[in-house]
Chain A
Amino acid sequence: MFLTITTTGTDERPATDLGFLLHKHPDKAQRFSTSHGTAHVLYPEATPQRCTAALMLEVDPVALVRRGRGKGRGGAPDSALAQYVNDRPYAASSLLAVALSNVFSSALRGQCKARPELPVRPLPLRIEVPALPARGGAELVERLFAPLGWTVTAEPVVLDEEFPEWGDSRYVRLVLEGELRLADALRHLYVLLPVLDDAKHYWVAPDEVDKLLRSGEGWLEDHPEQRLITSRYLARRWSLTRNALERLELARLAEADDTEVEEIDNAVAETTEESGAEGDGDGTPATGGGVGDGETADAGKPVPLAVQRREAILEALRGTESARVLDLGCGQGQLLAALLKDVRFTEIVGVDVSMRALNETARRLRLDRMSERQSARLKLMQGSLAYTDSRLRGYDAAVLCEVIEHVDPPRLPALEYAVFGAARPRAVVLTTPNVEYNVRWETLPAGKARHPDHRFEWTREEFRGWARQVAERHGYTVEFRPVGPDDPEVGPPTQLALFRLGEGDPGTDGGTSADHSTSTSNSTSTSNSGTETISTTTAKEAAA
């Protein structure tokens, strides 16, 4: 909410020309009403040798909240306490950028009617922003400003001296020094302050984004971080919209627990500026996006692991001659998209516990524009494998692709029963990371899980032990297949188990429960022949 602009001069070219450039008289304190509070411009010093202009924005946090009330304003007054206790009154955020453009609008455009020669002249400038929120830290600040001709000093601000263990805050004390035209300096600030600001909780109107991009003319095109700068804007707009519409219930639950909403509402990975530009929207599988893919570490390989995994799952499903398939824990629907492409899957049900993931799936699959014939094959529903669910009964196959490792081990028995005991599909295809392979990821620090939400990662032995017990308890047979390069020492990166309801399924006689006199015959046993049948089927369908 505060920055100073200082220039130096001589008696011939007095520093106080800054007053002409800014259209603000150095001997007055002036105030301006802006949409987020009152802005003040004043000069702590004004001599021919040295002149400093200070811009100060008094943000009214109470009004900031109140403005959010009502429909269509993008505000969410009850969504998060962050709205009430926040750094807006202190930090040089996007609000300050907006004030800057209001108060210094002609300076920003490089206009000075009284002294038209002034704006074109580079000046020795020193700009201080004492509390700049900088997502990406001092290092990114340097990367953003240095290419523009600034000498950058960015010192991290300590979070709390009494608690040194908390480390640095997200603010830096920024000093920019250089010989630049004032208009360029202001436009740099106008664009880059919000880029650095990590203000996910605040709404910026779309037209302001357009204005920001206009302000990049002349320097943004050639900026080495141009993509990051623009995509942060796009990502930011997207996440703001999401904020307003979707995350309120979860945000409240996070708040009830004194936790940050990101800790709970993390089923859909945030689109980062880096991947956001390339992977988003068209459903390309390259990013994988979803929780727990670990495939970012796999970028060097020709076929991403996520793609190989989907191929392996599809192959396993085809082998079971399944037509009606459940994708349990469908995430953002990458597998659903692949299933839809194969017409032998006549009924595809995507289940996830996260409403956000389901909405994201619908968006990615463009469900609203899908043909009726296609969309009739697909159903999305919220569900949870912590509970039995009668809607999941009677399917040919269920896929749990990279799901179990997101479940706390004490709650795995519930998942096991919900899938193998209650839903009881004829076949289950289940994949999970092979922790042994982690040593082969060069980018993965030793002992670290592939995804922060992984509650465990198993060795091949651990996985097989568990899977065999599950199979035995519920009358399934199980076989294991590698996914990805099968390393002779540590095995494949992903392990896949294919369960089939066995012929040895018990239940023809006896039981603790009632025996209906019109005895029910056991219809569950099915014969699953091996690969030979698979190839015949495939051949037939290929011929057809």
Chain B
Amino acid sequence: MTDTDLTTARRSLAVPDLSLVVLIGTTGSGKSTFARRHFLPTQVVSSDVCRGLVADDENDQSATPDAFDVLHYIAGKRLAAGRLTVVDATNVQPEARRSLIRLAREHDVLPVAIVLDVPEAECVRRNAARPDRAGMPTHVIPRQRRELRRSLKSLEREGFRKVHVLRGPEEVEAAEITTERRYNDLRHLTGPFDIVGDIHGCRSELETLLGRLGYVLRRDERGRPVDASHPEGRTAVFVGDLVDRGPDSPGVLRLVMGMVASGAALCVPGNHENKLGRYLKGRKVQVTHGLAETVEQLEREHTEDPEFGDRVRVFIESLISHYVLDGGALVVCHAGLPEKYHGRTSGRVRSHALYGDTTGETDEFGLPVRYPWAQDYRGRAAVVYGHTPTPVASWLNNTICLDTGCVFGGRMTALRWPERELVDVPAERIWYEPVKPLTNEAPGGSEGRPLDLGDVRGRRVVETRHMGRIAVKEENAAAALEVMSRFAVDPRLLGYLPPTMAPCATSTEEGYLEHPAEAFAAYRADGVREVICEEKHMGSRAVALVCRDEEVARKRFDAPDGVSGMVYTRTGRPFFDDPALTETVLRRVGRAVEGAGLWQELDTDWLLLDAELMPWSLKAAGLLRSQYAAVGAASRAVLPGVLTALEGAAARGVEVSGLLDKHRGRAADAAAFTDAYRRYCWPVDGLEGVRMAPFQILAAQGRSLAALPHDQQLALIDRMVEADAPGDGTPEREQPLLVPTRRLIVDTEDDASRAAGTQWWLDLTAAGGEGMVVKPLQGFVRKGDGRLVQPGVKCRGREYLRIIYGPEYTRPDNLDRLRVRHLGHKRSLALREYALGLEALDRLADGEPLWRVHEAVFAVLALESEPVDPRL
């Protein structure tokens, strides 16, 4: 690897394109001239210049320590940014070089030494010609030369990966610098690639996988695969761990070595290759973790082909620990790599690439605990790696682990690049019993790792695709943590929480606080022409995860036995206290989905539904009794007595007419209030009396349906409602569970259409309806400036709002004061929660690990605890 050049007078000096070049030579040896000739002025950091910077005098030796601080600082900044840097200083003393080598290692670049070995006389002559150095003591140059001579032999040992020595002015004069690519820099290769995860001796599965990927295998005379190529010229990339544990590590090596040799494949080493390499070199290693199998297999191979072991050793020694590919868009290595190590060259980069980031701890199975580096990854390049067996390969922050535990009976997985398609084949059998089960029972355990407090605790920022970064405050996360931990359903069944919804702008219409005119006007202003008015059911919000059967729930959501889904409230609590009732509802809804043919049509075996469950009294009984009915009861108890008293006083001739009128009005308001809540209450018995109005299908297997236009949504749901068949009981007695959602499409630009919308709302609310929700028909809409449009606004009926604003809110003096509503925060909150909800659905649909879905769901819950006027 090193290029020591002490004898021949080669003119070309190879310098890696990212390295720290240390010039070494006595004063007057021509370093600055050399640097000027071969490097950009900005690439060179000179000790003389730094001395000048700190002391106004390039020769002030007392400023040397400060000058070198500055030099190291500048060089460090350049190296951190990935820029070639040349240090122009005498560097004849080992201490000076040591600090520079340390600097190079800190930034994971190679240190390169270029020695200018120029005779003393020449140096003296040059210095004499420079007036600023005229005062230099005569012993300086001889001392520096002595130090230089002593250093020459030890430069490589000190850590320089290349050492170029130029003897005499002629060689210095004749030298040329050739920058060379680092070994790991294959940015010029653009593929397309097929990146293959951990193999572990599973030769047969590898053959099948390559076949699936379209490679054509070439076999030797004994039928063993020795090479493979792709007719379209694709390149295979192996992420390492070709060997150990499995049945045919030599067979895998033979095939991969053949493909690498023929140029059909690239390969990075895994920790298992590294260990095998050390074993083959005769080092003492523990023959554990499946190496025993490989050793045995290689010994058998040895009897037929004595040179095979040597070829393997050479192959392993030739492997580069990571590659940067495809113009820098792709990084492949065995155990993952943070961005600051991409393209770098140092021992610790190699170590990370081979072993990952271990914390030094061991888990309950005695295995090293790995630091989840990928969670912090924010790099531009996609990092594709293996090493840690996971049940399913999934993207996380632009990284993906392809080790799906084939040797443990899982699958062997490949990633097509740049298509980003996953191709996998199942293991033919369990080749090796894992010590640690691939999954554990904790939520998320089957998808990599269980939920961790770090996913949700404290102040957090959640990255969303539709609204960028959304912050969650610490106090809100704290409240959400309590509710989520103590009351919510199992997070595996909680893939979504509904966002809050803002009301329309406050109406100035006489007697109204909310009116459809405002909603239509707002959407029109946002450029939304078609809106859908949906009847707002007055019950309690319910999200239903409906699986086709328990088996689906178990497979897709890791649900326990006897659970085929979940019905939960807007804070994630089980909607029904009795799990049996939940199952009854789910079966009923499932049959409706089945009857409507939606399983086939949406190509799914589960659905996530947003719905309203009625009556209101079903879930809000406590609140009704303690608050709403109580207010009604108090008013009925007191107002007749008040009226009697006032009438008595009036009869006596006391002037109370104003008070009497006012209180007759208050009695009427109180009665209207009682009527308002009574409409939403009726008794239920089991499922009897319960009504469910689904109004959106949120997600199905593999896709979020949040952007499906609402008319299409409701058309699908209408079919469910039609198909809703009562269960096993007597059909004539049982009532339907599912009820439809009435709606009207309004053109916001059309006066007649808007008037029709308003009339529709007036009729709806006059008949006791809560009101309506106005949504852009297209579901998901952005404004001209790219910002999200409110996904819906509510227009609540005049009578319904008594429940919200109090019995007497319609009195003109009250209305005037209540019109000051400060809607801004509510609107912002609604949009943020909407974006988080969409994010949760996208992550769920993409099959991302549970913690990713939960992060977004948790954030919705946390935001729900932000301070905002609850009447909105």
| Interface residues in chain A, defined as those with a beta carbon under 8 Å from any beta carbon in chain B | 1-2, 4, 27-29, 40, 42-46, 52, 54, 56, 61-62, 66, 77-78, 80-82, 84-87, 89-92, 128, 130-131, 133, 157-160, 162-163, 165-167, 169-171, 173, 248-250, 252-253, 255-260, 263-264, 267, 353-355, 382-391, 393-394, 406, 410-411, 413-414, 416-418, 420-422, 424, 474-475, 505-517, 519-520, 522-524
Contacts and interface: CB of A to CB of B under 8 A. Distances in A.
Top 7 nearest A-B pairs by Cβ distance?
Answer: A507-B366, A44-B648, A249-B479, A417-B442, A515-B289, A90-B634, A249-B865
B34 interface: no
Contacts of B817: 62, 66
A87 B630 contact: yes
B440 A513 contact: no
Contact of B634 (A45, A87, A384, A390): A87
Contacts of A166: 621, 624-625, 629
Given A45-B652, A258-B540, A259-B622, A85 B659 contact: no
Contacts of A87: 630-631, 634-635
Nearest to A44: B648
B804 A516 contact: no
Contacts of B681: 163
B639 interface: yes
A169 B629 contact: yes
B452 to A, nearest CB: 5
B367 A387 contact: no
Given A82-B627, A421-B364, A253 B483 contact: yes
B628 interface: yes
Contact of A511 (B367, B631, B642): B367
Interface residues of B, number: 134
Nearest to B360: A520
Contacts of A77: 869
A344 B639 CA distance: 67
B389 A513 contact: yes
A171 B358 CA distance: 65
Interface in B110-166: none
B656 interface: yes
Interface in B524-571: 540, 560, 563, 569-571
B648 A45 contact: yes
Most B-side CB within 10 Å, residue of A86, A248, A386, A413: A386
Interface string B494-535: 000000100000000000000000000000000000000000
Contact of A517 (B275, B388, B433, B570): B275
A85 B865 contact: no
A385 B450 CA distance: 12
Contacts of B634: 87, 90-91, 131, 133, 157, 169, 171
Contacts of B804: 81, 84-85
B336 to A, nearest CB: 11
Most A-side CB within 10 Å, residue of B563, B621, B649, B808: B649
B649 A44 contact: yes
B445 to A, nearest CB: 7
B454 interface: yes
A253 B635 contact: no
Interface of B: 271-272, 274-275, 278, 285-286, 288-290, 335, 355-356, 358, 360-368, 370, 387-389, 405, 408, 433-436, 438, 440-443, 445, 449-457, 475-476, 478-487, 489-491, 500, 540, 560, 563, 569-571, 573, 616-617, 619-642, 644-649, 652-656, 659, 666, 670, 674, 678, 681, 683, 803-809, 814, 817-818, 861, 864-871
Contacts of A86: 627, 631, 806
A56 B660 CA distance: 12
B288 A29 contact: no
A414 B645 contact: no
9 contacts: A81-B870, A162-B678, A256-B500, A260-B622, A263-B622, A410-B490, A508-B366, A516-B368, A524-B364
A61 B670 CA distance: 14
B737 to A, nearest CB: 20
Nearest to B484: A386
A507 B452 contact: no
Nearest to B656: A29
A259 B620 contact: yes
Given A256-B500, A516-B358, A386 B485 contact: yes
B131 to A, nearest CB: 58
Given A157-B633, A508-B366, A515 B275 contact: yes
A89 B808 contact: yes
Contacts of A382: 457, 478, 481
Given A42-B656, A90-B635, A506-B435, A159 B867 contact: no
B364 A414 contact: no
A84 B801 CA distance: 11
A137 B61 CA distance: 93
Contact of A260 (B438, B623, B818): B623
A87 B806 CA distance: 10
A529 B433 CA distance: 33
A85 B656 contact: no
Nearest to B865: A249
Nearest to B642: A2
B574 to A, nearest CB: 8
Contact of B450 (A40, A256, A422): A422
B109 to A, nearest CB: 25
A475 B365 CA distance: 9
Contact of A252 (B438, B454, B647, B864): B864
Contacts of B621: 166
Most B-side CB within 10 Å, residue of A84, A133, A420: A84
A390 B808 CA distance: 54
Nearest to A476: B364
A158 B634 CA distance: 9
Most A-side CB within 10 Å, residue of B362, B365, B389: B365
Nearest to B653: A27
A151 B68 CA distance: 97
Contacts of A173: 637
Given A249-B478, A354-B486, 18 more contacts: A40-B659, A43-B652, A62-B809, A85-B803, A159-B629, A160-B674, A166-B629, A250-B865, A253-B479, A257-B571, A259-B619, A384-B482, A406-B486, A414-B451, A424-B363, A515-B275, A517-B274, A522-B366
A27 to B, nearest CB: 6
A29 B483 CA distance: 52
B364 A512 contact: no
A522 B361 CA distance: 9
A62 B442 CA distance: 49
A258 B868 contact: no
Contact of B364 (A85, A158, A505): A505
B623 A28 contact: no
A250 B455 contact: no
Nearest to A45: B648
A422 B335 CA distance: 22
Nearest to B579: A410
Contacts of B656: 29, 42
B865 A258 contact: no
Contacts of B866: 252
A417 B629 contact: no
Contact of B335 (A56, A416, A514, A520): A514
A270 B866 CA distance: 25
A337 B60 CA distance: 65
Given A90-B637, A509-B288, A252 B642 contact: no
A220 B619 CA distance: 43
A84 B569 CA distance: 24
A354 B485 CA distance: 10
B638 A389 contact: no
A44 B644 contact: yes
Given A252-B867, A514-B355, A4 B364 contact: no
A84 B805 contact: yes
Given A257-B570, A388-B451, A513 B482 contact: no
B629 A512 contact: no
